Amino acid sequence: MSSSDKSEHPVQVEGLTRRFGKTVALDNVDLAVRRGLVFGLVGENGAGKTTLIKHLLGLLKPQTGKVRVFGLDPIEKPEEVLGEIGYLSENRDLPTWMRVRELMLYTQAFYPKWDEAFAEDLRETFELDPSARIRSLSRGQRAKAGLLVALAHRPALLLLDEPSSGLDPVVRRDILTAIIRTVAEEGRTVLFSSHLLDEVERVADHVAMIHKGKITLSAPLDEIKERHCRITLRFSESRTAPPELAGALWWEGRGQEWTAVCDGRLDALKQQAAEMSAEVVEEGVPTLEEIFVGRVKTGRAASREV
């Protein structure tokens, strides 16, 4: 790993495998996150997103493979690594007995780069009462408190594990804004996991899909969108099952009209459609959500066939 790699890729994971008993939580995962980008990690519950993020934080030790954050091993150099990371977990495990003010002072002690004025700004923006106990905060307020302490030392890498899950639109907006601000400041990087695909589609530069511990697709979002398409075919006669179309990830429809989300270019699919004398009545680019659902379903069908 050269030094330019280190500065260009704050996160590098190579051949990472992790088992919990018989369950393979991560299966030979390779990942490189480029500096200054928003990296979206998507997958079903239990796909391995949190396990992966815990390795980056040094909370789990790789059984096989290598994890480097800023070129360092988070297990060997926890202080250096964690000092540059802002982390918000899905469970926002905050000390519930503390007051907001105490949480801020407590967290500040761990981070030499803590920016007091910025922390205070965030507290006001998030409308958090400094004397309120964490225990008494609503779900949304807790998320904001967690976000505050993740951001206030202006980390070079922001790690958010399902930050929006279970939150109302107003708080979700605050979280997205935090992601946007972080990358808008030169050189900072965000890695976030989410199952809210529309949010990922809005803010991610690069998307990795993880399924049963394996990275099934990792590419710039634009590229993912370009290589998939959605096509609606109309057949002269009613069908009871979808047609065979190379690249189709999933089908929806009945009777004469069937819509497929496909991994493949439109022209190739149109040719196939012409060969089965079906008329193309609609075509377009699927949303990230449609692509994701399609790929998960194909994965399931494939594993059933094995």
Partner 1 sequence: MRLHISLDDGVPIYLQIVNQIKYLVASGRLGPGDELPPIRVLAEQLLINPNTVARAYRELETAGILTKRRGAGTYVSDKGSPLTRRERARILEGRADALLVEAQQLNFDLEELTQLIRKRAQQFTKEDRKR
Q: Under rule CB under 8 A, how many of the chain's residues touch partner 1?
A: 25
Q: Which is nearer to partner 1, 25 or 221 (CB)?
A: 221
Strand order across the 11-20 sheet: 23-33, 11-20, 64-69
Using rule CB under 8 A, residue 159 touches partner 1: no
**In what side-by-side order are the strands of the sheet with 214-220?**
85-88, 157-161, 189-194, 38-42, 206-211, 214-220
Residues of span 208-247 touching partner 1 by CB under 8 A: 222, 225, 230
Assess 202 for contact with partner 1 (CB under 8 A). yes
Q: Which of 84, 161, 162, 201 binds partner 1 (CB under 8 A)?
A: 201
- Using alpha carbons, select from 287, 205, 196, 297 the residue that is nearest to residue 250: 297
CB atoms within 10 A of CB 170: 9
168 binds partner 1 (CB under 8 A): no
Q: Which residues pair with 210 in a beta bridge?
A: 215
Contact stretch for partner 1 (CB under 8 A) within 11-19, 57-65, 159-167, 176-184:
176-184
Structure tokens at 296: 């998960």
**Alpha-carbon distance 143 to 176, whole Å?**
12
Q: Which of 287, 293, 297, 298 binds partner 1 (CB under 8 A)?
A: 287
Query: Is 249 an interacting residue with respect to partner 1 (CB under 8 A)?
Result: no
Other C-beta atoms lying within 10 Å of the C-beta of residue 192? 26
Of 216 and 287, which CB lies nearer to partner 1 in the complex structure?
A: 287
Please name the amino acid found at residue 236. Answer: S
Is 170 a residue that touches partner 1 (CB under 8 A)?
Answer: no
- Closest distance of CB 2 from partner 1, Å: 25
* 161 bridge partner residues: 193
Question: Smallest distance from the beta carbon of 245 to partner 1, in angstroms?
Answer: 19
**Strand 64-69 relative to strand 11-20, pairing:** antiparallel
Can you tell me which of 13, 16, 25, 38 binds partner 1, judged by CB under 8 A? Answer: 38
Task: Quote the CA–CA distance of 203 and 221 in Å, as a whole number.
Answer: 10
Asked if 268 interacts with partner 1 (CB under 8 A), we say no
Site residues, partner 1 (CB under 8 A): 36-38, 173, 176-177, 180-181, 183-184, 198, 201-205, 222, 225, 230, 281, 284-288
